[in-house]
Amino acid sequence: MTFGRMPEPGPIVCGVDDSPEARDAARVAGAISERLGLDVLLVHVAAAVTQPGVGAAAAGRERLAASEREDAEEVLARIAAEAGLADRAGRRVEFGDAAGRLLAVCEEVGAELVVVGSRGRGKVRRALLGTVSNQVAASAPCVAVVVPPGSAERLTL
């Protein structure tokens, strides 16, 4: 048996939107990162850039994408500040399917953990609609932490 150097640990990837549940997830990711000494990467996934009448015009798509990116960067900055991560978390904007893009980022950066919030929908709505948190938890290439609504206040890490 050969023993080699352990690879450098990857970051904690935390998927956020502009919801209270995402703020809880960011606080939990921050607490875990402090405890484990890992970096945090906040990721906001905006919807794919499409709008009626803009599809064929490249300049229109570019302006819309720039506007969406600016809005997403504001969300990331606000959540990072509220979670006490403004000076120590990376931030990244992605476009497309939220679960798919979060999973791709986890693969790309070699994430140790992925943290997402849960909106606490009932079983029927969750079964009918599916959720980003369910999809991420089921398919993550790393440990997945799903933060239930309101649980960040009870965290004692």
Give me the domains of the chain, ranges plus CATH numbers.
Answer: 12-154 (3.40.50.620)
SS3 letters across the chain: CCCCCCCCCCCEEEECCCCHHHHHHHHHHHHHHHHHCCCEEEEEEECCCCCCCCCCCHHHHHHHHHHHHHHHHHHHHHHHHHCCCCCCEEEEEEECCHHHHHHHHHHHHCCCEEEEECCCCCHHHHHHHCCHHHHHHHHCCCEEEEECCCHHHHCCC
State the pTM of this model. Answer: 0.85
Q: Would you state the pLDDT for residue 13?
A: 98
**Residue with structure tokens 């992605």?**
94
Q: Would you state the pLDDT for residue 76?
A: 97
Give residue-wise pLDDT tens across range 8-64: 889 999 999 999 999 999 999 999 999 999 999 999 999 887 655 545 567 777 888
Give residue-wise pLDDT tens across range 118-134: 876 555 544 444 589 99
Report the alpha-carbon distance of residue 81 to residue 109 in Å, rounded. Answer: 23
Q: Would you state the pLDDT for residue 133?
A: 92
Give residue-wise pLDDT tens across range 78-125: 999 999 999 999 999 999 999 999 999 999 999 999 999 987 655 554
Q: Would you state the pLDDT for residue 53?
A: 53
Q: Would you state the pLDDT for residue 17?
A: 94
